[in-house]
Chains A and B, each alone.
Chain A
Amino acid sequence: MVEASHKLYVKKAVPASAWRACLQVLRRDLLLSLRRRSEFSNPLFFYVIVVSLFPLAISPAPKTLQMIAPGVIWVAALLATLLALEHLFRSDYDDGSLEQLVLSPHPLAALVFAKVVAHWLVTGLPLLLLTPMLAMFLHLSAQQTSILLLTLFLGTPTLSLLGAVGAALTVGLRNRGLLLALLILPLYIPVLIFAVASVVNAGVGVVVTGQLAVLGALCVLALCLTPVTTAAALKVTLT
């Protein structure tokens, strides 16, 4: 046995690709979400409940609902994302998996990106899939619904990516929920403004490609900048 393990040190280290490490992190996180469903289903329930309370509280009149729908749906989606983000790094921090991720020779930014993708797949994507039903509750037209879905498709990844930076900074703290909201909400505002404006404009027949382009640009910007920032924030958190 000693001889066998001695050979290992002689064998030249073949670098396994960072790509495969990321895929494994993605797969692990999806598996974990599957095994603790409540963690990601709670924000979705929250989303559905908040949106469906508005017709009861304000007015069931289709006209009113149509008017408030883009804002209501987007605010609820934003808060649901924020709620879900608290769990992004928490269990990894608590059980020490985060230390192991940081100690991996692979670039932490790439591994973190894989975690955010997994997180979006179990929170952002189901949110997107639930939206047509909620849009119907609120009497949104088919055209507005499709624009709404497009804004959510471009916007929720941005929310997850930006939120990851805040989640990384606050994961070691006790009052993380409130602090996370305070840190991240200001960054969410541009996404909210452009997304809601494009759905509202689509309702009155104005061309919305400009707003959608801005949302897309924000998404690309977040894709480029936040993984590195999140990785740096995690390293600070662990010290």
Chain B
Amino acid sequence: MNGQNNINTEVAPLLNAQNLLCERGERVLFANLSLSLYAHQALHVRGVNGSGKTSLLRILCGLLPAVEGEIYWCGRDVRHCQHEYRAQLAYVGHKSGIKAELTAQENLRTAQMLLAHAPACSPTDALDRLGLANVINLPCGLLSAGQQQRVALARLLVSGARVWILDEPFTALDQNIVALVSALIVEHVQAGGAVMLTSHQVVALPGIELNYFTLN
């Protein structure tokens, strides 16, 4: 069901979920779901609206408890290594996590302090890479939806996390920025990271193989 990068099938997955069962309200969204995410892998989770893509990502992050099933980080149950797991995880969801009253730089500084390790790159550099150098000192409430989404994505660069979990990362971004963000994903995957994302757009990641996981 899930695509696996042929280079990595013999190595242990970074993230491994076994027999997940998710219920929202009284409805079972998915049952017996197992998937693995390897280093050097980009995984696109697909499915129709309401098929549980967001729930799956939230379960993997630990924001939503799975009714059944286990999640393993580097072979260890995440419940026993939460600190290590969270230190290597960056999540950008539907809610940006950006404070409208703070500037982009102040927002990223908070994100940086919440990390468990030294930041991978400075907030200024991260914003610069996402083309936000000219609005760095504006309150985020004044930025457009696309610019706010870019500030949220800049958090990934600052975090230095190994696993990126992205829920609709391309929302509100224009074509050039989609290409820019795709390039960042490719770079991250090539450097040994792993990315799991959902998107309703066609995701083009030049240079790496994109794997698919379909929820039905």
Q: How far is the CB of B108 from chain A (nearest CB, A)?
A: 11
Q: How far is the CB of A206 from chain B (nearest CB, A)?
A: 48
Q: How far is the CB of B139 from chain A (nearest CB, A)?
A: 8
Residues of A within 8 A of B139 (CB): 35
A1-24 interface with B by 8 A CB criterion: 1-2, 5-6, 8-9, 11, 13-16, 20-21, 23-24
Bound complex: CA of A111 vs CA of B114, how far in Å? 9
Residue B120 is within 8 A (CB to CB) of chain A in the complex? yes
Bound complex: CA of A136 vs CA of B196, how far in Å? 63
Closest chain B residue to A238 by CB distance?
A: B63
B97 & A16 in contact (Cβ 8 Å cutoff): no
Q: Which of B30-38, B71-79, B98-106 contacts A (4 or more CB under 8 A)?
A: B98-106
Size bracket, chain B contacts: 35 or more
Count A/B pairs, Cβ under 8 Å. Answer: 111
Residues of A within 8 A of B187 (CB): 1-2, 5
Q: How far is the CB of A15 from chain B (nearest CB, A)?
A: 5
B63 & A5 in contact (Cβ 8 Å cutoff): no
A14 & B117 in contact (Cβ 8 Å cutoff): yes
A87-126 interface with B by 8 A CB criterion: 91, 94-97, 99-106, 111
Q: Given the known inter-chain contacts A28-B102, A31-B102, A32-B101, please indicate yes or no for A99 contacting B93, CB distance below 8 A.
A: yes
Bound complex: CA of A23 vs CA of B110, how far in Å? 10
Residues of A within 8 A of B109 (CB): 24
- B interface residues, Cβ below 8 angstroms from A: 61-65, 82-84, 86-89, 91, 93-102, 106, 109-111, 113-118, 120, 139, 155, 160, 162, 187-188, 190-193
- A interface residues, Cβ below 8 angstroms from B: 1-2, 5-6, 8-9, 11, 13-16, 20-21, 23-25, 28, 31-32, 35-36, 91, 94-97, 99-106, 111, 238-239
